[in-house]
Amino acid sequence: MKKIVIMLVVALAAVSVAVTAAFAQGSANKDFCVLLPDSKSSIRWETQDRPSLVKAFNAAKVSYVITNADNDAQKQKTQADQCLANGAKVVILAPLDSGSGLAIEKAAAAKGAKVIEYDRQVNGSKGVVYVSFDGAKVGVLQGNGVVAGLKKNGKYSQKPVVAELNGGQTDPNAFLFKSGYDSILKPLYKKGVFVKGPDQFTPGWDNQKARLIFDQMLAKTSNKIDAVAAANDGLANAVVTALKAKKLKPIPLSGQDATGPGVQNIISGWQTMTVWKDTRLLAAKAAAFAIALSKGQTPKTNTVVKNGSAKQAAYIYPPVAITKANFRQLFNGYLKKSEVCVGVYAKYCVKPA
């Protein structure tokens, strides 16, 4: 497993280098610019979002450039400035934080370009439209997953200690997810059904920092943590590796993004659930909106969301809970069975007779 993780990190680093080089060499005169945040918070940005956006723009036969900021807000601002200098009409922005996101949006407005906020909202937004999934609902599914796991293993009635490993504080989505699982867990804390354990945000959604944080949580509680509401699969895997290192048993554990490693943890019994956000839908909608905006058209949204004291037009998709019972639906083109059901995990993919 360690070898696979190392290979994955190396592969993602190679992608990032290749992307940066491609951007530097061929970014001139692109009508559309996509600014992805990183490849550390989740592998989905490069393994799911990028190819889906490429497919959508190629099908429309338009010029575009896609960059990744590698978790560097200043780098993302520089990438945005380069896009705008090269004549981008529409920027699809997945910001690292609201401050730098707002700076990018102001720069775009000064150039007459439109901004679509992609899966991450910018506080005080100047974005024309926000396309995402229901963040609070994501958290509700995660909270329900933790509760279901505790009922299944018999710990629900034993005052289990539940920890919360949240996302990055600079990402508004982290607070949406937390609000969702807290809506499920807080009433149970208040009633004394569950005991509230350590509750901490993870700087920059960094999985390595998450491992250190969870190690500290275990030390603080003398390993007495019975379940974890983890905000995504990367953070959940940090929990899994910590538990394995201490030779502790699996505990109810949530996740998000339906990543290959996350699904492997689920089918092998180390993670209870993940939340699937079909980014193919999101990418196709964002590309369609970008093309419409470039033609002076108004995209047809399906709701309005709050942005501070203001309201923002949005297109929001519902998320889906994935467990060991229904993980195979991901093999509809979202994940490859050959990448999940491989090696020691192959046996978990065999359907019972």
CA distances from 288 to 228, 293, 301, 336 (A): 38, 9, 12, 26
Whether 24 shows a pLDDT value over 70: the answer reads no
The predicted-structure confidence for 270-299, as pLDDT tens digits, reads as follows: 999 999 999 999 999 999 999 999 999 999
Alpha helices in the chain (DSSP H): 2-26, 44, 50-60, 73-85, 98-110, 135-152, 172-190, 207-220, 233-245, 260-267, 279-294, 337-340
Spatial distance between the Cα atoms of 89 and 274, rounded to a whole number of angstroms: 36
Residue 18 pLDDT > 80 = no
- Nearest-angstrom CA–CA distance, 211 and 25: 38
Q: Look up residue 138 and give its two tokens.
A: 């994501």
Q: Can you read off the two tokens belonging to residue 163?
A: 């920890």
Q: State the pLDDT at residue 67.
A: 97
CA atoms of 179 and 192, how far apart (whole Å): 20
Q: Is the pTM of this model over 0.85?
A: yes
Residue 38 confidence (pLDDT) above 80: yes
Stretch 198-207: mean pLDDT, rounded?
96
Instruction: Report residue 127's pLDDT band, with 50, 70 and 90 as the boundaries.
Output: confident
Q: Tell me the β-bridge partners of 235.
A: none
pLDDT band at 28 (very low <50, low <70, confident <90, very high): low
Q: Length of the chain, please? A: 353
Q: What is the mean pLDDT of residues 169-194?
A: 96
Kindly report, residue by residue over 64-105, the tens digit of the pLDDT: 999 999 999 999 999 999 999 999 999 999 999 989 999 999
Confidence of residue 188 (pLDDT cuts 50, 70, 90): very high
Q: What is the pLDDT, as a whole number, of residue 266?
A: 98
Distance between CA atoms of residues 62 and 294, nearest Å: 11
Task: Work out whether strand 161-166 and strand 114-118 pair parallel, antiparallel, or are unpaired.
Answer: unpaired
- What pLDDT does residue 39 have? 86
Mean pLDDT over all residues of the chain? 91
Per-residue pLDDT tens digits for 307-326: 887 899 999 999 999 999 99
Please report, rounded to a whole number, the percentage of residues in the chain having pLDDT higher than 90. Answer: 85
CA-CA distance, 94 to 116, in Å (whole number)?
A: 9
Nearest Cα residue to 201 out of 12, 41, 37: 41
Q: What percent of the chain has pLDDT over 70?
A: 91
Least confident segment among 4-8, 93-97, 129-133: 4-8
pLDDT in tens, 147-158: 999 999 999 999
Q: Tell me how far apart the alpha carbons of residues 280 and 303 are, in angstroms, rounded to a whole number.
A: 20
Q: Check: CB of residue 231 under 8 Å from CB of residue 253.
A: no
φ and ψ at residue 253, rounded to 5 degrees = -150, 125
Q: Do residues 93 and 115 touch, judged by C-beta distance below 8 A? A: yes
Q: Please give the pLDDT value at position 64.
A: 97
223-242 average pLDDT score = 98
Backbone angles phi, psi at 187, to 5 degrees: -60, -30
Q: Is 6's pLDDT higher than 70? A: no
Q: Nearest Cα to 41, choosing from 160, 202, 149, 175?
A: 202
What is the DSSP annotation of 214-250? HHHHHHHTTT---EEEESSHHHHHHHHHHHHHTTPPP
